[in-house]
Amino acid sequence: MESLEEIQERHRHEWIVWDYEHTLAMLESERLKTKDSANWIFDSHKLARIASCEPYGLFAEALVDGKTFEYYDGECHVVRKMKT
C-alpha cells in the first residue's frame, strides 16, 4: 500500500506534466504564424516571457506597438523598431 507521501509525490508529478503540456499547447495556439514559423513570435509580452523560459525554450519575440522585443531566458534584452 502506498504511503501518503508517495501518493502526494505521484500526483505532484502528474500535475507538472499536465501543466507543461497545457502551457505548451496554449503557446502553440497563440503564436503568430510567420514565414519563419520555427520561432516563438507573439503579440504579447507575457507570452514571449513564458516561451523564452525553460522548459519551453530560450528565445522569443513580442511584436507590440511597432516594435520587436527580443526575449532571452525570460528577460527582454533587445528592442527594435519594426521596418515599415
Q: How many domains is the chain built from?
A: 1
The pLDDT value recorded for residue 36 is: 64
> What is the distance between the alpha carbons of residues 3 and 60, in angstroms, rounded to a whole number?
42
Residue spans of alpha helices (H) in the chain: 4-30, 45-51
Q: Answer whether residue 3 shows pLDDT above 90.
A: no
> In which residue are the cell numbers 499536465 written?
18
Contact 14, 4 (CB under 8 A): no
Cα 16–chain centre separation: 15
Say if pTM beats, i.e. exceeds, 0.75: no
The share of the chain scoring above pLDDT 70, in percent, equals 88
Q: Show the cell assigned to 4.
A: 501518503
Domain of 61 in residue numbering reads as 4-81
Amino acid at 68: T
> In which residue are the cell numbers 505548451 written?
24
